[in-house]
Amino acid sequence: MTNYSELYHSKLTTAAELASRVESGWTLGMDAALAQTPAIMSALAERAGRDELSGVKVQTLLDVYPFEFYADNVLSGKLNGVSWFSSGGARKAVNGGYADFIPSYYRDIPGLIRSFYEYDAFCVSVSPMDKHGYFSLATTSSYSQAMLGKARRVFVEVNKYQPRAVCGMQIHVSQVDAIVEHDAPLPELPPVKLDEVSVTIGNLIAEQIPDGACIQLGIGAIPDATGMALKAKHDLGIHTEMFTDSMVELLACGAVNNSKKQIHPGKSVTTFAYGSKRIYDYIDDNPAIEILPVDYVNDPNVICQNDNMISINAALEVDLWGQVCAESVGTKHMSGSGGQIDYVRGACQSKGGKSFIAFSSTAKGGTISKIKPILTPGAVCTTSKNDVDYIVTEYGLAHLRGHSLAQRAKQLIAIAHPDFRDELTFEAKKRGIMI
Ligand code: COA
């Protein structure tokens, strides 16, 4: 029998030595959130800072570490990030003109990688090797399988704080070119502040969710507040892109037991997890959660197989036709499409399913209405008027799917902040959509 420990030690190196193997012009790939490799990236940034590298590109999705190549533009041209879905660092860098962005539906990323990309190295953070020589990819499956298939080398960063997902992706030590050990507590999302508006919206949506429903919760305070409003429900299931803290809470209080799901009964299904240590502890060695590739998890034809599928996502603005922008404020880049459309479509195709796009009626201290006559020039339309189902604010619900432009405009104006309703009505009449 192979001595995996010997193989492991033969590949073990330091982040600095590994970074010295990287050559100018390389493309590196990393998967979402906690799959990313902070020690390897810092060592690379140091080399780039010493002018030893040029033209190195690193693909990321939802960066959760303060990567130097996103922090400011001093490494630009030497080491640049390319984001599939921006959060903090990448958002700043894309707007600053020193990082690039690849528009995509999250479910399509594995296919896009297989069709269009090659990687000089796939860098991934893993939990410690088991006795059979396998590393668990811990909290993320997403597009790792696809990147692995298109990578010339695999660099793993072993972190003892990474949970071991028994129903998630694994990499064998024989597939790995180099190993770096870097034990550091995992980044955590700060707990979401549940303000009055989020709680009101959460409760409005919760009223629409029957016992036995299967839920997806997106990114942001409102999806989280809705999760917390579901604690009195029974027999809920989870089929989601991102596994969140409110989901662990729903499992702990018994509202979720996954018993009524048509596919993966008894199990929560996700493609990555990110939140607090409570989530990471829940995942560790737990066969009740399956962390699977995003081209399966986010496929609307898979999502819709669970009856009463409910998706809850956030947005930045919506126009009177029901076009939803969740990615930019005008031309200012904020985010990516992620799985929003995947879940809107999957939920709407599910028997008894519903999709909710929810947000507070105003932004910037009440000075801006998020319901607008037209999207702000330059805004990205994330969910189209043909896909949208329910829009929710603290003033109520608007059901747009199957409804005419005039019906949509009336319903949306009724849930806009009262300070903006006259102006919205005036604009709607001017455009002839208030018949
Ligand atoms: N005009 C101007 N500014 C606006 C605005 C508007 N219409 N709407 C929001 N903002 C500002 C907020 O004031 C806030 O500014 P701040 O950072 O200075 O406080 C910022 O934009 C973020 O808004 P907020 O409402 O707090 O965002 P959020 O954290 O709830 O996230 C999305 C909302 C849309 C960015 C987030 O859900 C997302 O990334 N979606 C992507 C697509 C998706 O839904 N994917 C599903 C994933 S699982």
**Helix 221-228, helix 196-206: angle, nearest 10:** 60
What does the alpha-carbon distance between residue 154 and residue 175 come to, in Å, rounded to a whole number? 7
Does residue 186 sit within a domain? Answer: no
Does residue 105 sit within a domain? Answer: yes
Residue 194's pLDDT is 85
Residue 220's pLDDT is 81
Backbone dihedral angles phi then psi of residue 358, each to the nearest 5 degrees: -125, 145
Does residue 187 sit within a domain? Answer: no
Domain identity same for 95 and 231: no
Q: Rounded to the nearest 10 degrees, how much is the dihedral formed by the CA atoms of 157, 162, 165, 171? A: 10
Across 302-323, average pLDDT = 97
Please indicate whether residue 370, judged by its CB atom, sits closer than 6 Å to ligand 1.
Answer: yes
User: To test ligand 1's pocket by mutation, which of 83, 217, 243, 316 has the most ligand atoms within 8 angstroms of CB?
Assistant: 316
pLDDT, tens digit (0-9, with 9 covering 90-100), for 269-300: 999 999 999 999 999 999 999 999 999 999 99
Q: What is the tally of helices (H) and strands (E) in the chain?
A: 16, 27
Q: Give buried/exposed letters for 114-130 (b at 16+ CB in 10 A, else e).
A: eeebebbbbbbbbbebe
CATH of the domain at 20: 3.40.1080.10
Residue 221's pLDDT is 84
Does residue 190 sit within a domain? Answer: no
Closest CA to 303 of 257, 351, 363: 351
Name the residues annotated as catalytic.
Answer: 241
Backbone dihedral angles phi then psi of residue 65, each to the nearest 5 degrees: -110, 155
Does residue 342 sit within a domain? Answer: yes
Domain identity same for 176 and 291: no
Sole residue written with tokens 């009336």:
410
Which of 141, 157, 181 is the endpoint of a domain?
Answer: 181
Does residue 387 sit within a domain? Answer: yes
Backbone dihedral angles phi then psi of residue 278, each to the nearest 5 degrees: -60, -40
Across 108-124, average pLDDT = 98
Answer yes or no: is pLDDT of 50 > 80.
Answer: yes
Measured in Å, residue 363 CA sits from the centre of ligand 1 at 9
Half-sphere exposure (Cβ direction) of 174: Cα atoms closer than 13 Å: 5
Domain identity same for 210 and 355: yes
pLDDT, tens digit (0-9, with 9 covering 90-100), for 223-260: 888 999 999 999 999 999 999 999 999 999 999 999 99
Residue 435's pLDDT is 81
Please indicate whether residue 271, judged by its CB atom, sits closer than 6 Å to ligand 1.
Answer: no
Across 54-63, average pLDDT = 97
Answer yes or no: is pLDDT of 337 > 70.
Answer: yes
Domain identity same for 400 and 365: yes
Which of 121, 147, 181 is the endpoint of a domain?
Answer: 181
Its pTM surpasses 0.75: yes
Please indicate whether residue 43, judged by its CB atom, sits closer than 6 Å to ligand 1.
Answer: no
Domain identity same for 262 and 154: no
Measured in Å, residue 315 CA sits from the centre of ligand 1 at 6
Does residue 365 sit within a domain? Answer: yes
Does residue 189 sit within a domain? Answer: no
Residue 1's pLDDT is 65
Domain hosting 295: range is: 196-430
- Strand (E) or helix (H) holding 418: helix 418-430
CATH of the domain at 295: 3.40.1080.20
Of all protein residues, whose CA lies closest to atom 43 belonging to ligand 1? 340
pLDDT, tens digit (0-9, with 9 covering 90-100), for 343-361: 999 999 999 999 999 999 9
Domain identity same for 170 and 277: no
Q: Which atom of ligand 1 is nearest to the CA of 317?
A: 7
What does the alpha-carbon distance between residue 149 and residue 16 come to, in Å, rounded to a whole number? 26
Answer yes or no: is pLDDT of 168 > 70.
Answer: yes
Residue 203 tokens read as 């409760």
Please indicate whether residue 326, judged by its CB atom, sits closer than 6 Å to ligand 1.
Answer: yes
Number of domains in the chain: 2
Please indicate whether residue 38, judged by its CB atom, sits closer than 6 Å to ligand 1.
Answer: no
Residue 365 tokens read as 């201290």
pLDDT, tens digit (0-9, with 9 covering 90-100), for 389-408: 999 999 999 999 999 999 99
Residue type present at position 123: C
User: To test ligand 1's pocket by mutation, which of 294, 325, 334 has the most ligand atoms within 8 angstroms of CB?
Assistant: 334
Answer yes or no: is pLDDT of 88 > 90.
Answer: no
Domain identity same for 170 and 203: no
Residue 190's pLDDT is 86
Please indicate whether residue 329, judged by its CB atom, sits closer than 6 Å to ligand 1.
Answer: yes
